[in-house]
């Protein structure tokens, strides 16, 4: 549900609010910014007209995959990005890492698998 809500924020143009949902940098030390997300969309579509769609408006589920890290530190989740009226080949990868009594949300990467 977190990922679908995160996509909804992007679909409403609330990129900064979506970025504010991220708690930590990824394993490469990268804390994703609005500009980086927009740049990935631009590179993928080769057009400034890339429009993220509310996932609830599309048929299908975006091929979600969930797994647990072998060391027990949390979970990973990936799902295709709803873009320009359908499910794209862009996969958004999140990590949810245990920290005390909550999970830290990490945007690991956005890329074509």
pLDDT band of 104, cuts 50, 70, 90: very high
Average pLDDT, the chain: 94
Contact 31, 43 (CB under 8 A): no
The yes-or-no verdict on residue 98 having pLDDT over 80 is yes
58-90 pLDDT tens trace: 999 999 999 999 999 999 999 999 999 999 999
Residue 49's pLDDT band (boundaries 50, 70, 90)? confident
> What is the value of pTM for the model shown?
0.92
Question: What are the residues whose beta carbons fall under 8 Å from the beta carbon of 77, sequence distance 6 or more?
Answer: 3, 64, 65, 66, 67, 93, 94, 95, 96
- Rounded distance between C-alpha atoms, residue 88 and residue 82, angstroms: 6
């Amino acid at each position: 549900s977190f990922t679908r809500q995160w996509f909804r924020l992007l679909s409403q143009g609330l990129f900064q609010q979506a970025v504010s949902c991220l708690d930590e940098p990824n394993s490469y030390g990268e804390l994703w910014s609005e500009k980086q997300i927009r740049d990935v969309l631009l590179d993928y579509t080769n057009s400034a007209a890339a429009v993220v769609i509310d996932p609830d408006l599309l048929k299908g589920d975006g091929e979600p995959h969930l797994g647990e890290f072998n060391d027990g530190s949390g979970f990973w989740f990936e799902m295709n990005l709803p873009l320009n009226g359908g499910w794209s080949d862009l996969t958004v990868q999140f990590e949810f890492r245990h920290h005390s009594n909550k999970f830290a949300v990490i945007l690991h990467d956005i890329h074509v698998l």
